[in-house]
Chains A and B, each alone.
Chain A
């Protein structure tokens, strides 16, 4: 069994107990435990079920590499699936449940997949479930989906918040082991701005566990002193619990700081996502131990050797009472020695190597531990826990020499440098045959923006596994000299072992796990190779090797070694799959940050926003703006409110907050020339004090924006754009001025937000303004399509006589800071004239009644002004304007284009939004021919019937003709083509 030792545990505080639960059982651990350590202390080795075969799964590792020990954690708004117990710090009140089983962890129905494992090899689903056709969707897929997946689904909105922050440094050092600390100290002394991040809560990495001596003292002493020195340096920032998740081009690194994972609900943000810009990245990310591939290596109790001694030394936890150690390298002997020193039994060390010459095997033997050279494991026995191992010769086919009872197996297949951050931006790797691992090739680093190396590696991340080499390499990595000395025992070389025993037959290979979580075995990779999935990416995808939540940290190298062997090729020829961020999974909430709810996107507000909200206006998003759609009164539907607003505007006076309308000042000696290029019509000859409607097209000729232009003075024009178009059009202007006509003397300024602008609309509009008093707003002084500066009600205003409704209308601009006050003044003064505010929908209906086009409704990026009968706004005289050449292309000049018409149903009903007009027959693809479509369709409260505009082949030449329009139920209705101006065709109402 696994249990807490009476003594030891450098990270735990035995005076502070934490109560936690696992599958409802109340258990006890200590402050400083990881959840995995606490579970082991309570003899809870079995923690989950595998993905495919639902095999029992125990704790394998002690850190980010753990593939098995994932749990559902927390409840309600703090529930999170797939939490890695080996990196979860224990806290009082932690609740957890195991995953991927039904009805219980101990008895899981899904394990039938295990008994049928032979029928479910890699890729079996590609070969079956093919017939009958409907069965995949309706029978097989639901079964596959239900048995797949891991954790449960969160049900509630996240109760935590997440913070995001930026940081800048010369050097970002990733990893708080002795390599990272030494690199940081060296570079910091040289005056560089340093960030040092460590993913766990603790510093020192493996050295402090493995008994390394630095400068004649235990590593921990050196680690603490170095940390203390770094903490005092102003140019150094240190963060623990901070995982560098990914490195991106030009030195951008994403780091996830787990601020309050271990203190949930304490008011702090749960995570802080750092967006770090580093001049260079130093990866001191260490190495990860590889499992060995022997039959039954997935049975709970089989663990990585390094993890076993982590539990003993860091947490005072014995994963087993009797632990067999199996290895191909000297490092695993440290585990045997640590177990022995803790008073635990190590019945045997099985070393696949024939000759054992290192100091550590000698020490183990001297301690009385039985060491067997040239031996391996034929098979691990046990179900939910290891019960014994069968020993065999590594060189043979697995003939059992002896069976030894035990309750744990500590395995080591060697160590692989953690190269993720090196590889994310394209750093290349070399295969080191002597060390049997891939290591970064310093000659082929990922490149920074200036072509220099974006990443350098330090310590074990470079492939140096011994402490003295680690410190020297870390010093060198940052251009320093004089590393501290470290005393380490001599280690004999590793011998690569990819299958144990070497000649294992297929029955054994089908029980050797490579990917524990996804249930990929040696035999699966061999099957993939046999079937021609010989690219390493094919093998990965066909078998799902390395695609589990650990992203192959334990399985990838072992898998591709098997693949290389199957293909009779060398490992470097097979290569690795692509390393992609993040290094370990990152909570999505942390990536989304504070942008939630109201501030999910930036919110643009007009000066009158608060008034609209106070009126309970129904708001709609318009770009990042939020505008009133209508102002419903108690008991009114939105539709009723809109109709009331329209009728009131047409009979009394309406007030529209048009502040979102784009306002761009174009000024300079060449401003007129410039606007003549920008607009399809001529703007240079517009008289001062006058307004003119203009159209803008993109270079392809398609209509992109419209609005009224006012000539302010000799060299100044003010261009109104659509609400959504202001920023785009301003950028468009700057583009042409800076990149094409850079010798033209023109300035532009987007003053959209500098002014509030309100439309005062309706027969009583003038009376209202006259009541406010100030400037002369009479027809004679301020006629239609002119503007004037003046004072109204004590406010400095600019009043434009323009109309988008067909009514007598003033658009009045005031400085934004006075907008609300002016609005209030209008509302107060308007009461006696029946003034009501109206929203965007009323605006839309009134412009449609009047036959005015709306960018985005009548246009969709494929419509040219000529389609909309706006030929009058296209200058025939100008040699050039943006869009002119595009409009000369055959398809745009074709007489067959659909053109704007009015549409009305024969019975007065409203045509459906988006309806098309079918034409007789079908095209070559069997699609019904069409001859037009509706672009705007409304119920007109003014005319008390449906009105619409649309684009129809033949356009206005077909007025009076009746055509069919589609309905959503598949039927059609008859509509008559008519003039698009439904209201006041002569313009008598606006021009008064």
Chain B
């Protein structure tokens, strides 16, 4: 793999960039692998990457029914934060956030991690108490967050209206090292790094069946033929239930549409990410200048990657109220993604009823921020056959035991 650098660019520029390698190879599948990961989104690719990097397992195929990074990795609002309330969540999201800090250097691909700071506005007294609780919890969890007053909010976000008649801003939970990254680059960078380790990334290859013998997976049928494997990882977000069905077990997840939109680009006007959970809206400004806005989820099962428009209207009402100046910006594009929601809205990183089959799903509306941590924990689980501390509490049987990891208690709905 040719290293990327400013010098490489300069060298290539002189020959009109004719000499660049493929970022990743596109091989035909081999007859079998040590590990097959189904799903070449961020979580699947990160799992493969850390299998190679942390455990030296490189006889790996990542198979993808569409194009890599084309699911929720490529259609989310790119927020990265770890100011979670519950210990297991704070642990894995903070692991992810700290890996993001060095990710560009680690995989030699600029994922544009921008720790520009993230605010969660408190607009009711109840929310104030909830976020104060989160700050106290974060301090014990090693997650650096702080509580700031409305004046400081205004200083950080000059375009905000803190004196709205309905929900004045009473303060905010602030994570200075939260921020954003370029979503596509995360998938592409991991894919390139995996490919460089000799792993096979096989796109346009849909899994049509999972074969097992004696309680163990032996391989998968795909649109490119049968592929054998010693271990199988299922990392397919919105379609987790479908692949689990093929493997013969049922998952506690439901698929719903989550929507987002961007405005036309304007010059920089907001340096931090702002989330307003009481009124259900969040917004950041991309490096291109677009205001990136997250909406809500539909309340019904849906696989269409389209949501219902009234959620967009609700979100925009909230944001026009919070940031009056956006009223005269224009919505450029809106879209939806299919997210898989669990009973406690926290993910599953778990063994399954099949001994050598592992599942990583249920990230709901908040998976992007977790990608490196999720991959790290999933790789450990797959390599060792048992979860490490990061994944231990995210097992799929916790619902039966009632051991919820419920973030909604403090964080409201949005991730």
Contact = CB atoms under 8 A, between A and B. Distances in A.
A137 B330 contact: no
A923 B389 contact: yes
Interface in B143-162: 146-147, 159
A891 B304 CA distance: 37
B331 A530 contact: no
Interface size class of A (residues with CB under 8 A): 35 or more
Contact of B266 (A82, A133, A582, A586): A82
Contacts of B246: none
A25 interface: no
Interface in B109-155: 109-110, 112-116, 123-126, 128-137, 139-142, 146-147
B379 to A, nearest CB: 16
Contact of A588 (B18, B105, B329): B329
A184 to B, nearest CB: 25
Interface in A106-127: 118-119, 121, 124-127
Contact of A136 (B104, B129, B203, B330): B104
A592 B331 CA distance: 11
Nearest to A582: B331
A82 B289 CA distance: 12
Contact of B114 (A119, A141, A152): A141
Interface stretch (B205-213, B227-235, B314-322): B314-322
B50 interface: no
B133 A968 contact: no
B63 to A, nearest CB: 15
A345 to B, nearest CB: 37
A393 B317 CA distance: 56
A152 B16 contact: no
B327 interface: yes
Interface residues of B, number: 120
Nearest to B335: A580
Nearest to B66: A535
Contacts of A586: 330-331
B22 A531 contact: yes
Interface in B169-221: 182, 184-185, 188-189, 203
B392 interface: yes
B287 A127 contact: no
A153 B325 contact: yes
Contacts of A530: 17-18, 20, 22
Contacts of B113: 136-137
Given A620-B124, A700-B402, A927-B91, A914 B329 contact: no
B248 interface: no
Given A150-B265, A886-B402, A966 B288 contact: no
Contact of A924 (B68, B266, B329, B389): B389
B4 A128 contact: yes
Given A549-B332, A591-B313, A862-B404, A532 B24 contact: yes
Contacts of A252: 309
A603 to B, nearest CB: 8
Given A130-B110, A133-B104, A507-B16, A248 B334 contact: no
A862 B409 contact: yes
Interface string A523-553: 1000100111111011001101000010100
Contacts of B400: 889
A549 B403 CA distance: 47
A51 B286 CA distance: 14
A249 B402 CA distance: 38
B223 interface: no
B331 A585 contact: yes
Nearest to A533: B23
Given A249-B306, A600-B166, A862-B404, A149 B288 contact: yes
A146 B316 contact: no
A863 to B, nearest CB: 9
B264 interface: yes
B9 interface: yes
A523 B17 contact: yes
Given A136-B114, A886-B402, A913-B128, A148 B288 contact: yes
A454 to B, nearest CB: 12
A697 to B, nearest CB: 12
B16 A914 contact: no
B306 A248 contact: yes
B269 A153 contact: yes
B324 A121 contact: no
Contact of A151 (B70, B101, B109, B267): B267
Contacts of B123: 621
Contacts of B66: 535
B193 to A, nearest CB: 13
B402 A891 contact: yes
B16 A506 contact: yes
A264 to B, nearest CB: 12
A158 B324 contact: yes
A925 B266 contact: no
Interface stretch (A7-15, A381-389, A853-861): A853-861
Interface string A831-855: 0000000000100000000000000
B264 A861 contact: no
Interface in B24-40: 24-26
A592 B266 contact: no
B132 A912 contact: yes
Most B CB contacts (10 A, CB to CB) among A51, A585, A586, A970 go to A585
B140 A136 contact: no
A81 B325 CA distance: 11
Contact of B321 (A145, A424, A600, A928): A600
Interface string B383-415: 000000110100000001111101011100000
A266 interface: no
A930 interface: yes
Contacts of B112: 125, 129, 136, 141
Given A149-B289, A621-B124, A126 B265 contact: no
A633 B146 CA distance: 33
A915 B116 CA distance: 27
B140 A549 contact: no
Contact of A155 (B319, B325, B326): B325
B410 A126 contact: no
Given A126-B4, A587-B327, A966-B139, A153 B406 contact: no
Contact of A154 (B18, B321, B329, B333): B329
A890 B142 contact: no
Nearest to B12: A121
A22 B195 CA distance: 53
Most A CB contacts (10 A, CB to CB) among B132, B265, B334 go to B265
Interface string B299-319: 000001010110011001111
Contacts of A310: none
A639 to B, nearest CB: 13
Given A891-B401, A915-B136, A248 B91 contact: no
B320 A589 contact: yes
Contacts of A145: 268, 285, 287, 289
A635 interface: no
6 contacts: A136-B112, A158-B328, A531-B21, A861-B406, A913-B128, A928-B140
Given A149-B288, A580-B335, A592-B316, 20 more contacts: A118-B13, A133-B102, A136-B114, A145-B289, A146-B268, A150-B264, A154-B325, A156-B325, A158-B328, A523-B16, A538-B68, A538-B188, A580-B334, A585-B332, A621-B166, A857-B129, A912-B132, A927-B142, A968-B132, A968-B146
A-B pairs, top 10 by smallest CB distance, nearest first, are: A149-B289, A914-B133, A585-B330, A924-B389, A535-B67, A889-B402, A914-B132, A589-B327, A158-B327, A127-B4
Interface of B: 4-6, 8-10, 13-14, 16-18, 20-26, 66-70, 74, 87-88, 90-91, 101-102, 104-105, 108-110, 112-116, 123-126, 128-137, 139-142, 146-147, 159, 164-167, 182, 184-185, 188-189, 203, 263-269, 278-279, 285, 287-289, 304, 306, 308-309, 312-313, 316-321, 324-335, 389-390, 392, 400-404, 406, 408-410
